[in-house]
Chains A and B, each alone.
Chain A
Amino acid sequence: MSTIRTRAFAGAAAALSLSLALSACGGGDDTDSAAKTTKGKVQLEFWSWTEGIQQQVAVWNKEHPETQVKYVNAAGDTVYQKLRAAITSGNAPCLSKMDGMNLANFAADGLLTDITKDAAKYQDAYTTPAWNAVSPGGATYGIPTGSSPLFTAYRADLFQKYGVKAPTTWDDVIAAGKAVQKKDKNIKIFNMAGEDPSTLVDLSWQAGAQWYRIAGDHWEIGFTSPDALKAGDIVQQLVDDNLASNASYADPGVFKTWDLGKTILMTTSTWQLPIYDTNFPKSKGKWQLADAPLFDPAKPQTSSNFDVTAVLKGCKYPDRAVQFAAWLSSSKESLTALTDPASKSGLFPAVKDVSPYVDKIIPTEMFNGKSDSAQIITTAASRVGEQWQYGPDYAAMYSEMQKQWGKVMKKQLTVKEMLTHLQDWVLADLKNKGVKAVAAG
């Protein structure tokens, strides 16, 4: 009932705004991407599943009577399927939370609105990699919401026990892993989950590789470039020397791997900070943060995932939608509330200046106080590699990689073989879809 009523209201609002717009520009519904200004009162629907966002929507609605946002909690495993279905049947929300990979996937399927012109004025607030994540192929389809720059957390107590130092480079990680196993062969330095090739994505990003690179009117595919193979080689060494555990991140007991000290280092990010308490009851206060391992200390780079707010196909007021999304993720008012641990959002801003928000998010009792946690998080946020791009078939490629990743973990396939396969697979897939792509030279 309530949805019918709100839809009727939205319809009335649309009619009203249209009549106002008609007098202004006399236009119908042109389809070019020129920024149009919506006048009058409108209502937008926004799907998200981040804790604490709903309260921010309420704050916005109070301050902006002309753009009322209707929050829908879309938590669940099937949200992307639901979004696709809603877009197909024409009753999709104007805005939805997504991750970078799905934004690219939706954009490639023509399910998003090109907001390049409306969004341009907000670009300056966000970091370059964050803006890349909402602009696959150069056109912008959303506004960055949050970032998760990668850094390291390790068991300081166990590092001391086994006589190893916190690693600076990935080679150090391998060396430390071997040193630890000389003392106790059951202890692993790292974890790689069999379902989750994101470890390789992170390493490739950090190594400066570009699996997908846009070059004018076509893509250059580089799964087998020297940088990509360098990243693959680290994974191969971890596998070959049995330096990594293989706990699945979907396993209900996964955090015991670290809490019981079987694995002693992990790459982690801001979103995990609020859940340390629950996940590591036994190892509280024994952790220390460090910068993410590097490939080249002269060119320090880390990787990040991005939360974004995408503008979906059929959104009638993209200018207002963008205005709201930018306020949510860049205004001091909204970010101060969302980065407060009380909001439980786990959100870390994607804006250039994160310094006002870092201190609060660190669960101090988790760490032994010997590292400057705030400094490490700020550093991570500032050194996210700017080269990473999502290609139009990134999701399908990821799914193909997932199938092979398990075999790599079981030593039935080498990382290089997998990357060679992905290179061919992506080129063939893009060609089949009618997209221009060549192998990177």
Chain B
Amino acid sequence: MSTLTRPAKVATDSPARRTSPRRTGRRGAAKGLLFMMPFLIGFLLTYVVPIGYAFSQSLHEKKSSGIGFGPTKIVYAGFANFSAILSDGTFWTGMLRTLLFGAAQITVMLGVSLLLALLLDGVAARAVRFFRAGLLIPYVIPGVVSTLIWLFLYSPTASPIIDIANRAGTSVTFFGGIDTYLSLGNLLTWQGIGFNMILISASLQALPRELYEAARLDGAKEWRIAWSIKVPNITGILVLTGMFSLIGRLQLFTEPLFLRYVAPESISTDFTPMLEIFDRAFKTGDYQYAAAESLVLAVVTGVLAFVFYRVTNRKVS
């Protein structure tokens, strides 16, 4: 195609037109900029400016004098906040806890999503639509609402599950030790399965059917097709959903914040980095340190997402 059109283009190029590309280029750039304005303005106002403000805050600290009541001064502190964060045990413990928990929970969630997507790929179209919609419902429910639903189920004083177990003569607990992570993981998995399944399912449908046909001619059974043809061909989407989930986990906030209502001993105010930042900024009013913590979290998230992407992508190719 391109080889056919190229000579024609050259032929219509008149000398008069040839002098103008710089002008049209500039006009084009101006036009392009005009089209980009809505994005640029939004991007500047909602990303660049707040991040810049947070950065400038993070370089300051609040100083009192005398007995500590009365006017305070915000003074330039250089990187004092950042060096304090580097040796802040609670912050990094929260980070590590979130990462380890996330690694386990995301693996389970994506595994279940993949399994469901593969199953759906094998059944009749009408059933597919029904199941797909059904499994998507938890994702459609706002996070706060679904957390509240589970909060009532987990509550040590109000849970019907605990009540039934007690009547049956046994006892169940949802918090303390590993239980805390299982309960939180169950909630997050319940929320995330549907959405991830839809993404995986969509990329499964995009695979050329000829591949299956060829495999069947070679005598492969359905499960063999799934494992050897389908899965290797959708690693791209698995990496992508994995990365999104990882970023989401590092910003884990709402779910533990609410579950803390019923399990304060098990979910501390520094359970995740976001909870710690929230507590710093809004409970104790230390905005400067909280801003520095936010930036460190953003950098860690960025680096991890990059590394994850590179490592998994290399494995794919």
List chain A positions with a Cβ less than 8 A from chain B.
78, 80-81, 84, 104-105, 107-110, 114, 136-139, 193-196, 214, 217-219, 246-248, 250-254, 256-257, 391-393, 395-396, 399, 402-403, 406-407, 409-410, 430, 433-436
Q: Which of B68, B158, B265, B269 contacts A399 (CB 8 A)?
A: B269
Q: Which residues of A contact B282 (CB under 8 A)?
A: 78, 80-81
| Interface residue? B264 (CB, 8 A) | yes
Contact yes or no, B68 A139, CB < 8 A: no
Chain B nearest Cβ from A308, distance in angstroms: 15
Take A248-B264, A391-B68, A399-B279 as given contacts and tell me if A410 and B152 are in contact as well, using a CB distance cutoff of 8 Å: no
Q: Which of B65, B68, B158 contacts A219 (CB 8 A)?
A: B68
Contact yes or no, A436 B66, CB < 8 A: yes
Can you list 25 residue pairs at the A/B interface with Cβ under 8 Å? Answer: A105-B284, A109-B62, A110-B71, A138-B67, A139-B69, A195-B260, A251-B158, A252-B261, A254-B157, A256-B157, A396-B286, A399-B284, A402-B269, A403-B270, A406-B265, A406-B268, A407-B265, A410-B176, A430-B68, A433-B63, A433-B64, A433-B68, A434-B65, A435-B64, A436-B66
> In the complex the two chains form, what is the Cα distance from A161 to B48 in whole Å?
67
Contact yes or no, B261 A403, CB < 8 A: no
> In the complex the two chains form, what is the Cα distance from A195 to B262 in whole Å?
9
Q: Which residues of B contact A110 (CB under 8 A)?
A: 70-72
Q: Which residues of A contact B62 (CB under 8 A)?
A: 109, 433
Contact yes or no, A395 B285, CB < 8 A: yes
Q: Which residues of A contact B269 (CB under 8 A)?
A: 399, 402-403
> In the complex the two chains form, what is the Cα distance from A144 to B275 in whole Å?
32
Take A194-B265, A248-B261 as given contacts and tell me if A257 and B157 are in contact as well, using a CB distance cutoff of 8 Å: yes
Q: Which residues of A contact B261 (CB under 8 A)?
A: 248, 250-252
List chain B positions with a Cβ less than 8 A from chain A.
62-72, 90, 151-152, 155-158, 176, 260-266, 268-270, 279, 282-286
> In the complex the two chains form, what is the Cα distance from A138 to B69 in whole Å?
9
Take A433-B64, A435-B65 as given contacts and tell me if A253 and B285 are in contact as well, using a CB distance cutoff of 8 Å: no
Q: Which of A194, A253, A430 contacts B157 (CB 8 A)?
A: A253
Q: Which residues of B contact A195 (CB under 8 A)?
A: 260, 264-265
> In the complex the two chains form, what is the Cα distance from A409 to B63 in whole Å?
34
Q: Which residues of B contact A392 (CB under 8 A)?
A: 64, 67-69
Contact yes or no, B285 A219, CB < 8 A: no
Q: Which residues of B contact A436 (CB under 8 A)?
A: 66-67
Q: Chain A: which residue is nearest B177 at the CB level?
A: A410
> In the complex the two chains form, what is the Cα distance from A108 to B68 in whole Å?
6
Contact yes or no, A253 B155, CB < 8 A: yes
Contact yes or no, A137 B68, CB < 8 A: yes
Q: Which residues of B contact A214 (CB under 8 A)?
A: 67
Q: Which residues of A contact B67 (CB under 8 A)?
A: 137-138, 214, 217-219, 392, 435-436
Q: Which residues of B contact A138 (CB under 8 A)?
A: 67
Q: Chain B: which residue is nearest A435 at the CB level?
A: B68
Q: Chain A: which residue is nearest B260 at the CB level?
A: A195
Contact yes or no, B63 A251, CB < 8 A: no
Q: Which of B90, B155, B158, B264 contacts A193 (CB 8 A)?
A: B264
Contact yes or no, A434 B64, CB < 8 A: yes
Q: Chain A: which residue is nearest B283 at the CB level?
A: A399
Q: Which residues of A contact B158 (CB under 8 A)?
A: 251-253, 256
> In the complex the two chains form, what is the Cα distance from A208 to B268 in whole Å?
29
Q: Which of B66, B151, B279, B285 contacts A109 (CB 8 A)?
A: B285
Q: Which residues of A contact B157 (CB under 8 A)?
A: 247, 251-254, 256-257
Chain A nearest Cβ from B7, distance in angstroms: 66
Q: Which residues of A contact B71 (CB under 8 A)?
A: 110
Chain A nearest Cβ from B76, distance in angstroms: 14
Chain A nearest Cβ from B164, distance in angstroms: 15
Q: Chain B: which residue is nearest A77 at the CB level?
A: B282
Q: Chain A: which residue is nearest B63 at the CB level?
A: A434
Q: Which residues of B contact A256 (CB under 8 A)?
A: 157-158
> In the complex the two chains form, what is the Cα distance from A253 to B158 in whole Å?
5
Contact yes or no, A217 B66, CB < 8 A: yes
Q: Which residues of A contact B262 (CB under 8 A)?
A: 248, 250-252
Q: Which residues of B contact A114 (CB under 8 A)?
A: 70
Chain B nearest Cβ from A414, distance in angstroms: 15
The residue in B68, B90, B282 that gathers the most chain A C-beta atoms within 10 A of its C-beta is B68
> In the complex the two chains form, what is the Cα distance from A194 to B269 in whole Å?
11
Q: Chain B: which residue is nearest A215 at the CB level?
A: B67
Q: Which residues of B contact A391 (CB under 8 A)?
A: 68
> In the complex the two chains form, what is the Cα distance from A436 to B67 in whole Å?
6
> In the complex the two chains form, what is the Cα distance from A136 to B286 in whole Å?
20
Q: Which of A78, A80, A81, A252 contacts B155 (CB 8 A)?
A: A252
> In the complex the two chains form, what is the Cα distance from A250 to B65 in whole Å?
37
Q: Which of B70, B152, B266 contacts A139 (CB 8 A)?
A: B70
> In the complex the two chains form, what is the Cα distance from A84 to B261 in whole Å?
25
6 nearest interchain CB pairs?
A392-B68, A195-B264, A253-B158, A253-B157, A194-B265, A194-B264
> In the complex the two chains form, what is the Cα distance from A435 to B72 in whole Å?
11
Q: Chain B: which residue is nearest A260 at the CB level?
A: B157
Contact yes or no, A107 B69, CB < 8 A: yes
> In the complex the two chains form, what is the Cα distance from A58 to B67 in whole Å?
39
The residue in A193, A409, A434 that gathers the most chain B C-beta atoms within 10 A of its C-beta is A434
> In the complex the two chains form, what is the Cα distance from A110 to B269 in whole Å?
26
> In the complex the two chains form, what is the Cα distance from A90 to B271 in whole Å?
35
Chain B nearest Cβ from A198, distance in angstroms: 12
Contact yes or no, B68 A84, CB < 8 A: no
Q: Which residues of A contact B152 (CB under 8 A)?
A: 252
Q: Which residues of A contact B270 (CB under 8 A)?
A: 403
> In the complex the two chains form, what is the Cα distance from A86 to B64 in whole Å?
21
Chain A nearest Cβ from B280, distance in angstroms: 8
> In the complex the two chains form, what is the Cα distance from A217 to B50 in whole Å?
39
Contact yes or no, B68 A248, CB < 8 A: no
Q: Chain A: which residue is nearest B159 at the CB level?
A: A253
Q: Which residues of A contact B264 (CB under 8 A)?
A: 193-196, 248, 250, 406
Contact yes or no, B72 A109, CB < 8 A: yes
> In the complex the two chains form, what is the Cα distance from A84 to B64 in whole Å?
17
Q: Chain B: which residue is nearest A392 at the CB level?
A: B68
> In the complex the two chains form, what is the Cα distance from A435 to B65 in whole Å?
5
Contact yes or no, B279 A108, CB < 8 A: no
Q: Chain A: which residue is nearest B264 at the CB level?
A: A195
Chain B nearest Cβ from A424, distance in angstroms: 14
Chain B nearest Cβ from A76, distance in angstroms: 13
Chain A nearest Cβ from B122, distance in angstroms: 43
Given contact pairs A251-B157, A403-B269, A406-B264, enumerate 9 new A-B contacts (beta carbons under 8 Å): A108-B69, A194-B265, A247-B157, A248-B261, A252-B158, A257-B157, A392-B64, A399-B284, A403-B90
Q: Which of A217, A396, A410 contacts B284 (CB 8 A)?
A: A396
